[in-house]
Chains A and B, each alone.
Chain A
Amino acid sequence: MSMIECKNLSNNSLKSLDFFLEEGRVLGLLGKNGAGKTTLLSVLMGVLDKSPYADVKVMGHVPGCWPEAIKNEIGYVPQRFWGFDAMSIREAIKTIKPFYENWDDALATELINEFDLPEHQQIKKLSEGQKQLTSIVLAMSFRPKLLVLDEPVASLDPLSRRVFLEKLIENHCDLGTSVIFSTHITSDLERIASDVLILKDGTSVISGDIESVRESVVRMKFNFPKHKKLTFDGLSVLSSSSHGDIQQLLVDQGGQDVKQVLTEKGASNIHCEHLNLDDLFLELHS
């Protein structure tokens, strides 16, 4: 079952975006600042505006038009958490708890303790990182089936980040919760995500199973005669550069024997290199 179906999503920031999130999968969103990550998540949560996105379905419904029972299953951590400033963390929990049937008090307390949050402190007096963690506690404690996290670790210190990831894996990923989260930290993504979607200028440049992406997308370095013109027909090239007669391509192999194709085009001294997500991201945006 698809938790999220997104077909041909276009607006001011996004261009013809297609992707799916299957039940139990963890999708990491990567992209430069302004690539459209937050816009995408806002559309999915129905908080951006009331424009109709008929081809976007979250848990089987158009965003923002969920039956109340479905809302019970969606947890959202916005990029900026507000609305509870005057309350302490405990008071915020007291406010939210009666609305969720599956609220897990033990989990909330565990998270507060693990994150070392001052539960009786007013939220407006917390640091940005602590606010972020509070938002995470509120979103995770009712054990949603779909968790949408907009840069949840942006303001966190390495220790809190680590604890958060552990708790996310332990309480959600391992129990079959579908998660979609945006981040700039590729190591986090590699640690917990099963799928990746890389956005560039509002379009999807790479998407799919993270292992397949790592296998499929390669950096090819080769020599190519200066007098000949290199064409990319028959290849799925994501980026290219050249220094003298040395050419460099980022290619999605897609089951093709790229080495063979390049040899046929006249390339020599071909080196194929698999990249981690960090390098892949840099390569795409260089």
Chain B
Amino acid sequence: MKRYFAILTPTTIRLFYAWIAVGMLLVYLVLPWYPNFTLSGYAMLYFWMQFVVICGLLFPLLMRWRYCQVLRLMPNYNAVITTMVASLFGLFMVLPALLAWFNNLNIWPIQTFSLLIWSVGSFIILRRLMLNAPSERQEKIMSSIVFPTFYLPFMVSLNGGFTSIVELTFLASIEFQLSVVALSMFIWLLPQKKYKQRQPTRILSATSLFFVSNSTKLVFGALSSQGFLVTFCFQLIAVLAATLVAYYDGSTEMFYFTLFALLFHFPYWLQQKEKLSVLIFLLNSKDAIFGKVVYRSFFNIYLYFAVLTGLCIWGVSSIINVHVPVSALLLSILSTGSMLYFLLRFAAQQVCFYIGIAVLMTSLMLIRSYMDVVPWINAALVVFVALTYKFPPLHWLKVEYGFNPNKATM
């Protein structure tokens, strides 16, 4: 059994959670625009499970299986992967289909299509695995054919005028499997763009909007690359869209989760790209500003960002007359703060553990009867945030970059 857990690498687990965020975004931003579509909390949980399993576990596993020569020589590795993939496939693809059939729900065309996609994906993966000298062109052609076709049944099923929630749950879950599988393949095949660091002075003037310390300005300046601004704008637009959707649907529940999805994504993105460039920039600069200053600057930036977003949400919701509770805003801001703290301070596994708890709590809140846990989560997050400020993550700096706080020039 140890082997099954061993193959869940940090990347796998990170993707697992990243896909939760993406899944939520899709479910709450795309689906509600279709007429006759209704959502239940249980249906959402089911969607999530599927996203997470397929995109977070299955794809990373297959990718590693494909790529790594060392793994291919590992005893029983192939058997473990095959069993795991088959089990996940059975549990999240075949079982729902059987349940649907037993309940006289006609979903066979979509299941067939789904199986087809799986076969194509598996073929590509296995082929590359075996040859070890892949033809990128062939795969890109394949994925460019597969990628658009997943929209077809998606559109058909959602415009078909179905009324049964159960039926829609199954249909939509399978549709999402397809879309996400295809999307994963597409993303996976795209060439990775190298991050280009911008001159911090270029957009440094933007910080004059805020009353901030010089050190924060420096970090913020470095953060204010094009990528950061794009993400920032995207997030604002998405939040505004979510608010509109909430207005359309009349459900504040949906709003909570859209917000969560977006805010989940932000620290992850920040960690992967910006954090590194900012620190490298700072560590290489002549005016060395290290340790607590760097960390607190990050934290300040986050707070500015969160407060600004919160104000926007509040403003827009007032205009369109949607009630957004202050506790919801606070919860989102604090949870992202704690997330950022975890990312900076702890190892990947710990981060995933805490994100796991957050996701679990979120899931519980989704089912309305557990809404009374919200104040407790808020309280816990306040404690975390306070601790964050009190004990900056110097350990992280040391481990990841060999930074020694004792030698830092404050």
Q: Are B73 and A98 in contact (CB under 8 A)?
A: no
Chain B residues within an 8 Å CB radius of A125: 400
Size class of B's contact patch? 20 to 34
Smallest CB–CB gap between B268 and chain A, Å?
13
Smallest CB–CB gap between B197 and chain A, Å?
17
Q: Which of A65-73, A201-209, A258-266 contacts B (4 or more CB under 8 A)?
A: A65-73
Q: Are B73 and A76 in contact (CB under 8 A)?
A: yes
B191 within 8 Å of A by Cβ?
Answer: no
Q: Are B75 and A71 in contact (CB under 8 A)?
A: yes
B161 within 8 Å of A by Cβ?
Answer: no
Considering the complex, give the chain B residue whose CB is closest to the CB of A84.
B68
A side interface size, CB within 8 A: 35
Q: Are B10 and A99 in contact (CB under 8 A)?
A: no
Question: Can you list, as one digit per residue, whether each of B47-68 has a CB less than 8 Å from chain A (1) or not (0)?
Answer: 0000000000000000010011
Q: Are B68 and A83 in contact (CB under 8 A)?
A: yes
Chain B residues within an 8 Å CB radius of A82: 67-68
Chain B residues within an 8 Å CB radius of A139: 70
Among A86, A100, A121, residue most surrounded by chain B Cβ atoms (within 10 Å):
A86
Smallest CB–CB gap between B3 and chain A, Å?
5
B399 within 8 Å of A by Cβ?
Answer: yes
Q: Are B79 and A138 in contact (CB under 8 A)?
A: no
- A99-B74 contact, Cβ under 8 Å, with A87-B10, A94-B6, A121-B400: yes
Complex Cα distance, B132 from A118, in Å, reads 30
Complex Cα distance, B402 from A223, in Å, reads 65
Contact of A99 among B14, B76, B400 (CB under 8 A): B76
- A86-B9 contact, Cβ under 8 Å, with A49-B131, A71-B75, A100-B75: yes
Chain B residues within an 8 Å CB radius of A87: 9-11
Considering the complex, give the chain B residue whose CB is closest to the CB of A71.
B75
- A47-B133 contact, Cβ under 8 Å, with A83-B64, A91-B9: no
Q: Are A95 and B69 in contact (CB under 8 A)?
A: no
- A95-B9 contact, Cβ under 8 Å, with A74-B73, A84-B68: yes
B residues contacting A by CB (< 8 A) are 2-3, 6-7, 9-11, 14, 64, 67-77, 79-80, 130-133, 347-348, 399-400, 402
Complex A-B: 27 CB contacts under 8 Å: A45-B73, A47-B69, A49-B132, A49-B133, A68-B75, A68-B76, A68-B79, A71-B73, A71-B75, A81-B70, A83-B64, A83-B69, A84-B9, A84-B68, A87-B9, A91-B9, A94-B6, A95-B7, A95-B9, A98-B2, A98-B3, A99-B6, A99-B74, A99-B77, A100-B74, A118-B402, A125-B400
